[in-house]
Structure 1
Amino acid sequence: MVSKQRLFDDELLNKSKEEREKFFNDYTVSHPKMKQVLIELKNEIYKGSHNIIMVVGPSGVGKSRLFNATINSVIKDMKQELEENKSIIPITGIELPNPDLGKFNWKDFYYRVLTSVNEPLIDYKIDLSVVNKMPNSPLRTTRTASTAAALRRSIESAFFYRETKALLIDEAQHFFKINSDYRGNSEKNQKQFNSIKSLANMSHTKIVLFGTYDLNAVFNLDGQLSRRVKEIHFPRYDFANDKDIKNFKSILLTFQKLLPLPREANLMEHFVYLYENCIGCTGILKNWLQRCLSDALENNEDTITYTNLKRNALLTKKLLTLANEALDGELIFKESKGDKEKLKELLGTKKDVRTDKKEQKNNLNPGKRKPTRDDVGLI
């Protein structure tokens, strides 16, 4: 019998391997860091002053889960409005593909966005501003493939009439992966960003970029870019933080009770090993446990053991790369006294000795004697 504390019904154990895997894979654990970021992100979508919002974190932290959770949460918030007006699409999202040959394809991007809002006749969009200048143009009578400009105008129109509040873009660092280099060309990055910002302004829709720390590094290289974007950090769980470790253990226990196997695994017994091999990222942990579950079901094992965990863990070299990238990225969000002092030095706001002496000299109270030694013993 399955314990009453397990997070699935007994009947699930009688279902197929595929159904049990799907149950675990589809289940999203809303943990403290995800909840915190989700609240901040929704506040920015509803009330924020920035049209471009950037959610960044390490690979495997759970950004794609947050992406889906944001869409579901906004739709839930607007349930009444959606019932009253079935034509609106309050939020939509796409995953950005890695650009082929280091060249970003705007037409493909526009096509994917229009598809996400179920726009009809995407292949037959035309730019009327051009056609109207050409009375004898064959475009008036002949079906042609849509141009990028025509698709762009269609997005602006669709977002306006669909009352779309936000467009979410996963893997957004691919916007700036030009010639296989995120950071090598500030001018090209500026052009890419200006196109994104223009789309947000013209469509009156917030654009939310989900990406790795590479995305944040691009924006921090250019003051013009960084000041126009609202940054939201989605961090991993830090082993040096007691509260983080407590929350990580709670997440581990939840996963333990979600695994649809006859005998409940004792993941808590291997807490440190599990943390090390997911570097505190819940996405890496979830994918690891998915592999373990599939392995256990394939071999007719009744639970997940340490042997199973070890067999399905990522290679240590891969984990080292992920850990180094995460630690480097986290430094961007950590305020340091040294940075503050450097800023003061650059701006010339650090007080010097002359300023202090001048303030002391001019700051005496009226009518109060200066401290001095009186002469004594003289007639």
Structure 2
Amino acid sequence: MQISFEQALHGSPTEKGAYLRSLRFMHRNLQSVMDEVQRHMTPFAGLSTTIVVGPTGVGKSTFSALQAELLLKLNEVEIREDPGAIPVVLNEVDAADGKEINWSLFYQHLLQDLHTVCPDFPIGATNSEGKAIDVVKSYRLMFESALRERKVRHLILDEAVHFADSTTEPLQYGNLLKSLANRTNMNLLLVGAYRSEMLVKASGQLGRRIGVVHFPRYHDNQDDFDAFTKFIKEFAEHIPLPFKVDLSKYVMHLFTAHFGLPGWAAETLIAAVNQCASEGSEKWKDEYVINACPSPEAYDSVSLETLEGEANVERYLKSPRPRTYPTEDEMRARLVARKANGGHGKGAAR
């Protein structure tokens, strides 16, 4: 249940945190990503697939929720006319179990999101002819049927990096795309941390279908700092405490300590609000922000991972400038080298 400002104001520290996490603050980079995704998610026919990739703490889950809300609003008329329709589905991909995606569980969760009865196949289940049931295929066919029944046109999969981090064979991704491609004007949106873009490499079939959109952090320049400052000021206006909190004096420190990542900075501020509320303080103290800021080790980990991700994602992005592509002979040489290396590159996360 959505918590109101008044409820959070008079509620517990936990309720204050829940309220702040439920808010969706639009900021420049988030708006830019939403605009670009909207262009990608307008197919002429068939399946349109887009990956939104960015660093930890940039606000990808907020983007996913906002995108789902936007698409639901655009389909309000259809939902009113057909209450059984579910044109937009937002699902979070579970982490790989032993480096392998549990596809049975994946399809079960999607079926649950589609409010579809999902049978539980016992281990060793057989059909009427005594043959072993292909459980993944059975769930996938149910999913295809549910897509038609619920008139799904937009599937958003958050935490898509779990796909890229797994050792799942490209065939399973191909089967998923095949199921979605059976729907006219179907949009698949994958959202994940850096490395999610590597799904493009899973197979040629996937590579042709996927467009990659980068959700960047705010960098160390005046325009980006101003956009980050605007985000922090808007956050401050919604803090559910019985007094106004001026965060302007902390903006530079928050920008630096969180490497320009607005979502990460917001989590720090929520922790600061929690401490203030837990103490029952009648005024804001500098120590609340200082205590909540990341440790040097956390900063090093996130910043280095972000820099590496920014460098690696470049080759997956389209460029306004002409690119130079390898010749056929150069690609043949790469193919020979790949085979000599044991065929690595077949999976998504090699």
Both proteins in one fold, TM over 0.5:
yes
Distance 1:164 1:89 in 2: 6
Distance 2:225 2:60 in 1: 20
Give yes or no for the alignment of 1:28 onto 2:24: yes
Give yes or no for the alignment of 1:206 onto 2:187: yes
Distance 2:100 2:325 in 1: 41
Contact kept, 8 Å, 2:174 with 2:205, in 1: the verdict is no
Give yes or no for the alignment of 1:322 onto 2:302: yes
Distance 1:154 1:21 in 2: 39
Distance 2:44 2:157 in 1: 18
Distance 1:239 1:222 in 2: 37
Pick aligned residue for 2:197 from 195, 199, 216: 216
Question: Please, what is the CA RMSD of the aligned residues?
Answer: 3.1
Q: 1:347 to 1:304 in 2, by over 3 A?
A: farther
Distance 1:157 1:280 in 2: 44
Give yes or no for the alignment of 1:234 onto 2:231: no
Contact kept, 8 Å, 1:42 with 1:70, in 2: the verdict is no
- Quote how far apart the aligned CAs of 1:212 are: 1.0
Contact kept, 8 Å, 1:56 with 1:213, in 2: the verdict is yes
Contact kept, 8 Å, 2:41 with 2:49, in 1: the verdict is no
Pick aligned residue for 2:137 from 149, 154, 164: 149
Q: 1:111 to 1:121 in 2, by over 3 A?
A: closer
Contact kept, 8 Å, 1:123 with 1:146, in 2: the verdict is no
Distance 1:11 1:101 in 2: 42
Query: Which residue identity is paired with 2:67?
Result: T
Pick aligned residue for 1:285 from 245, 261, 265: 265
- Quote how far apart the aligned CAs of 1:340 are: 6.2
Distance 1:174 1:79 in 2: 32
Give yes or no for the alignment of 1:177 onto 2:165: yes
Distance 2:241 2:74 in 1: 35
> What is residue 99 of structure 1 aligned with on the other side?
96
- 5 Å matches for 1:7-156? 13-47=9-43, 51-123=48-120, 134=128, 147-156=135-144
- Larger of the two Rg values belongs to structure: 1
> What is residue 256 of structure 2 aligned with on the other side?
276
SS in 2 for 1:54: strand
Distance 2:272 2:36 in 1: 34
Q: Deviations over 1:274-322 (max 9, x none)?
A: 0112211121011111111111111112344321111111111211221
Distance 2:271 2:8 in 1: 19
- Quote how far apart the aligned CAs of 1:25 are: 2.2
Query: Which residue identity is paired with 1:235?
Result: P
Contact kept, 8 Å, 1:261 with 1:303, in 2: the verdict is no
- Quote how far apart the aligned CAs of 1:194 are: 2.0
Contact kept, 8 Å, 2:111 with 2:118, in 1: the verdict is no
- Quote how far apart the aligned CAs of 1:55 are: 0.7
- Quote how far apart the aligned CAs of 1:24 are: 1.8
Between 312-321 and 296-305, the greater mean CA deviation after superposition? 296-305
Q: Deviations over 1:59-118 (max 9, x none)?
A: 111111111111111111111121111121111021111112222211000001101111
TM-score (norm 1): 0.74
Query: Which residue identity is paired with 1:215?
Result: S
> What is residue 338 of structure 2 aligned with on the other side?
none
- Quote how far apart the aligned CAs of 1:327 are: 1.9
Query: Which residue identity is paired with 2:243?
Result: R
Contact kept, 8 Å, 1:51 with 1:207, in 2: the verdict is yes
- Quote how far apart the aligned CAs of 1:34 are: 1.4
Give the aligned length.
318
Query: Which residue identity is paired with 1:270?
Result: Y
- Quote how far apart the aligned CAs of 1:12 are: 5.6
Give yes or no for the alignment of 1:261 onto 2:249: no
Contact kept, 8 Å, 1:173 with 1:212, in 2: the verdict is yes
Contact kept, 8 Å, 1:155 with 1:203, in 2: the verdict is no
SS in 2 for 1:307: helix
Pick aligned residue for 2:293 from 305, 313, 316: 313
Q: Which runs of 5+ in 2 are unaligned?
A: 330-350
Between 83-92 and 209-218, the greater mean CA deviation after superposition? 209-218
Distance 1:38 1:119 in 2: 30
Distance 1:99 1:292 in 2: 33
Between 154-163 and 261-270, the greater mean CA deviation after superposition? 261-270
Q: Deviations over 1:142-175 (max 9, x none)?
A: xxx9922111111111111211111111111111
Contact kept, 8 Å, 1:176 with 1:189, in 2: the verdict is no
Percentage of matched positions with identical amino acids = 21
Distance 1:99 1:318 in 2: 24
Distance 1:193 1:63 in 2: 22
Query: Which residue identity is paired with 1:214?
Result: R
Query: Which residue identity is paired with 2:163?
Result: F
Contact kept, 8 Å, 2:108 with 2:139, in 1: the verdict is yes
TM-score (norm 2): 0.80
Distance 1:43 1:165 in 2: 15
Q: 1:96 to 1:319 in 2, by over 3 A?
A: same
Q: 1:246 to 1:154 in 2, by over 3 A?
A: same
Contact kept, 8 Å, 1:124 with 1:146, in 2: the verdict is no
Contact kept, 8 Å, 1:170 with 1:211, in 2: the verdict is yes
